[in-house]
Amino acid sequence: MKKIYISIALLAIVLAIVIPSPDGLTKEGEIMFGILAMAVILWITNAIPIAATGILIMALQPLFGIMPAKDVFANFGNRAVFFILASFILAASMEKYGLHKRFALKLLRIFGKNGKTFIFGIMLTGAILSFIMLSHAVAILLLPILITILLSLKAIPKESNFGVASMLAMAYGTSIGSWGTLLGGARDPLSIAFLGEMGYNLTFVGWMKYALPVVFVALPVLFIIIIYMYPPKIKSIGHVIDILQKDISRKMMLKEKEVLLVYAITIILWIFFSSSIGIAVIALLASSALFLLNLVDWNDIERRVQWGIIMLYGGAITMGKSLATTGAASWLAGNIVPFFGDNKWLILFSVIFITIFLTNLMSNTAAVATMLPIGFEMLVSAGINPVIAVMSIAMAGGVSFVLIISTPSIAIAYSSGYISQKNLIKTGLISSIVCLILIMIFAFSYWQFL
């Protein structure tokens, strides 16, 4: 069966090469759609390892003359890739010294009454932390904590509903939380800047007035979807508290405190200096500090870093860049949005839908940057308030739940081994539709009064 899937995936590229390009779409853009179709087929069917698909994406782009090899490999060196690498190093240090168990114990004492309460607690914790720091930084902080709890419960990867639900809750919670303030992701400040260029000013607090109600409605709704699709069979997890308590009954050693100090400084830098220094640079500096202080060695890292996820995500980033550079993303958006005519409800629906589609294939920021000039003109011309137009696109840019490559938070959750691409598609498609509807409801109700 895998050979059939591989044949279908390669056929998608062949068809893109031989079929004449539609008006306005470059041949390079058409081939990129073929590579995109191939990648999605291989990721969904798992016909070859997902990391191998990431490598194949990079190899095909220079092969077909879409982009020079040096540019493809330069795009692989994107800051998101180095952020994920540095984050895995930070997580490895936490795991080495057992700090994740201490944090897990604290989380359990707050939300550990039963399985469902704990899963909602994960979502809420991830969302609130994402108000003050980037969502994928929150995900990497929560990952080792959750894995510790799941191992204590003997949850089987990809089989345990509790394991699947917990990881989805972490990924969704951090992503949804990133909508709430301008600190959660780069697409939010980008949207504010675009709005300013159009002559409309929206403050930090003004953004929160629009976004926070959406966050606090979306969290419980998506929580219900997760536990409905993956009902946790574990009723009580209180006994894990006793297990963890025995493991960490001793006092913290000096090196544990030093690792904790590195984490604390890293979080402070992420909160206050991410815009000037950059989240990836801060993470790399923090991971370097762990080596300089002799808190970890390379053997500690090699055993714990998910190198396949890095190859996958790097390859996906090069694909997203090429979809934008060849004009394929803009062509897709520009041709689908006008199809809905003059009805502002349908136009808004189409803009949100295309933004969600794109943000699952490329970085959130790239998707929003692609859609802002196109969607803004369409929505304002249809009579929709400019601020509502930009907020709709910005919110939709954070609805990245479907593919492993959608956002670093999803990739980090996937690296745990507890969820599969099929889990993501199954839950992500429904969650995306629900979020699309929520954004439209807010756009035509609450946002109208602001």
Domain holding 260, by residue range, is 79-185+204-305
Question: Is residue 237 in a domain?
Answer: yes
CA angle 244, 247, 250 (to 5 degrees): 120
pLDDT, residue 229, reads 93
Whether 31 maps to a domain, the answer reads no
Q: How far apart are CA 102 and CA 263, in angstroms?
A: 14
Whether residue 68 lies inside any domain: the answer is: no
Which residue is it, tokens 């050979």? Answer: 3
Between the alpha carbon of residue 237 and those of residues 113, 161, 177, 249, the distances in Å are 7, 14, 26, 19
Asked, for residue 160, whether it belongs to a domain, the answer is: yes
For residue range 115-150, what is the model confidence (pLDDT) as tens digits? 888 889 889 888 888 887 677 778 877 888 788 888
DSSP strands (E only) in 111-222 = none
Is residue 372 within 8 Å of residue 351, measured between CB atoms? no
Domain contains 151: yes
Look at residue 101 and tell me if it is in a domain. yes
Secondary structure element (H or E) that encloses residue 44, with its range:
helix 27-45
Query: Is 0.85 surpassed by the pTM of this model?
Result: no
Positions of the chain with pLDDT under 70 = 80, 100-101, 103-105, 107-108, 112-113, 133, 183-186, 238-250, 274-275, 279, 304, 306, 309, 313, 337-338, 340-342
In a domain, 145, yes or no: yes
Tokens of 38: 């191939």
pLDDT at 88: 75
Tally of structural domains, the chain = 1
Quote the CA–CA distance of 263 and 183 in Å, as a whole number.
18
Q: Which residues contact 387 (CB under 8 A, 6 or more apart)?
A: 195, 200, 202, 210, 447, 450
User: Has residue 314 been placed in a domain?
Assistant: no
The pLDDT tens digits for 349-397 are 888 998 898 888 777 777 787 777 777 777 877 788 888 988 999 899 8
Specify whether the CB–CB gap between 208 and 181 falls below 8 A.
yes
